[in-house]
Structure 1
């Protein structure tokens, strides 16, 4: 009779929890069992496989080289089974269902995401949403978030990024302000005037510009007011207090109506970036996450495009 090396799902879940936590007690809490049950499951796996998967000590448990290799092979399989189970449950009667944990940049969420979330919940009454708008850069995988909206330029990561809209920066001011400072023709002209600076930028007091056929120029500005809240900075600009550095979609309506006017329009701010929908790079995306991602991408592309 051929020997079986197969472990049941309870053993696999215990082993993955042990690898993630480094202790029998913590692994037991994670899977809802006591430490002795986790220890028994590990011993049963080792006996079946004929290899030691972890070294035990009084303080911690560390995987052996064989254990690390085994973990690398079984983790995606276990993730796939769990994703398949969630997806099957969500497809009962063909409706999207489940609980979504999402992370959103605060000011962007207040301006654009509120109606999208409300509309999605109306369209999908079997979905519940927990939205974090704290501007905290969450660990989607480690903190078990389903989706995030992120702005700017993304670094390489284990996440799946879906670009839904461009982000263009703009320099603008009120007509009254420009009557007092009519000489603003080039980036260096901004050095001596009061400016309204967004502290969400990496260096809010150094504005970098590019122009076709010319070199990049960087100017240090005097910040009359600095904040991470676009609404505050826009109000100050409308009152004629300074030159505003903003993302265009926040001020488009004011530019169209003429209450704000673009300054040095021949120069582009060297900070474009984009809006991304971010999801964990797992073996399967649940229907609830895919549906919300599609909803957000469709509406933001229309609103911000």
Structure 2
């Protein structure tokens, strides 16, 4: 007979008796642990066996042994009890006032341009939290290096982490009006071979540009006068008319809005949808109140729209 969703006192007592016997190895030791007479412990297990229709404990005059069915039930009940304890602890931590140090790993350019201005609001609202923010495009092992959370851009490949998608991530092509006036605007991806392309060396597909449109793909081995691992330096070059830049829309949205840059091959995306922007944190049993506060705060900030100006699809 399966357990009901809500345990009555008899079921709770039976579970406590079985777990105590499995842990202590005898009715007498289990009775001492539960502060009950050994005969009461034995009766509770017998009642549980009768209710479930299966032998859980083999009894002899000298010893007892947990049966295979009993061992399986003990393992499942132990996990359930641990989950209840975890839930209570998580609730307790979440209710506490955030305080202490919050260590964050943030992407360099996006972090400086968009997360840093927002972060001051979080600090102002949480006076007892001290934030240590590391802005870098290197891969950060947040578990090994002791970070509480990180913002990741693109595809995720670490299943040890709890991830929450904050928004989509699109890579697009842009150039300045002056560059396009001088060199012309490409009409197909193949035309990129005749243009000066500003290349970000941090792309997984580097040195290729992989372009996608409605099921079509084109791989272009582009060339250009500037290659860098710093997105903001490439953006500065694009503004000055040096060439065509392929990068995240978040990087170029202000310049597009102001007319300093315009879309190139607007129907094509670079590297497809390319994942998203994610908040990731260690998949530990418990998250400190500071981490939970930051999680709730940044999810709220991104809930309606990302902080950068929207670009027509």
Q: Is the structural similarity TM-score above 0.5?
A: yes
Task: Provide Cα deviations, 1:276-299, integer angstroms capped at 9, x if missing partner.
Answer: 000111223332211101212222
Q: Which residue of 2 aligns with 1:40?
A: none
- SS of residue in 2 equivalent to 1:154: coil
Check if 1:2 corresponds to 2:29.
yes
Q: Which residue of 2 aligns with 1:263?
A: 264
Check if 1:224 corresponds to 2:251.
no
Q: Which residue of 2 aligns with 1:295?
A: 297
The equivalent position to 2:111 in structure 1, one of 109, 112, 118, is: 109
Equivalence map 1:57-206=2 (5 Å): 84=89, 88=92, 91=95, 95-206=97-208
- SS of residue in 1 equivalent to 2:224: strand
CA change 1:136–1:207 in 2 (3 A) is closer
Measured in 2, the distance between the counterparts of 1:143 and 1:5 equals 45
CA positional deviation for 1:266? 2.1
- SS of residue in 2 equivalent to 1:2: helix
CA positional deviation for 1:90? 7.0
Normalising by structure 2, report the TM-score: 0.67
Equivalence map 1:17-28=2 (5 Å): none
Equivalence map 1:201-212=2 (5 Å): 201-212=203-214
Measured in 2, the distance between the counterparts of 1:166 and 1:100 equals 25
Normalising by structure 1, report the TM-score: 0.68
CA positional deviation for 1:183? 5.0
Task: Provide Cα deviations, 1:100-142, integer angstroms capped at 9, x if missing partner.
Answer: 1111112221111212221111101011122222333222223
CA change 1:87–1:128 in 2 (3 A) is farther
Which segments of 5 or more consecutive residues in structure 2 lack a partner in the other structure?
1-27, 34-74
CA positional deviation for 1:208? 1.0
Task: Provide Cα deviations, 1:43-66, integer angstroms capped at 9, x if missing partner.
Answer: xxxxxxxxxxxxxxxxxxxxxxxx
- SS of residue in 2 equivalent to 1:222: coil
Q: Which residue of 1 aligns with 2:279?
A: 277
Q: Which residue of 2 aligns with 1:251?
A: 252
CA change 1:177–1:150 in 2 (3 A) is same
Measured in 2, the distance between the counterparts of 1:135 and 1:172 equals 22
Measured in 1, the distance between the counterparts of 2:94 and 2:299 equals 21
CA positional deviation for 1:178? 0.7
Check if 1:233 corresponds to 2:234.
yes
- SS of residue in 1 equivalent to 2:29: coil
Q: Which residue of 1 aligns with 2:288?
A: 286
Which segments of 5 or more consecutive residues in structure 1 lack a partner in the other structure?
7-69
Q: Alpha carbon RMSD of aligned pairs, Å?
A: 2.9
The answer (yes or no) to whether the contact 2:161–2:282 under 8 Å persists in 1 is yes
CA change 1:186–1:128 in 2 (3 A) is same
Measured in 1, the distance between the counterparts of 2:31 and 2:111 equals 53
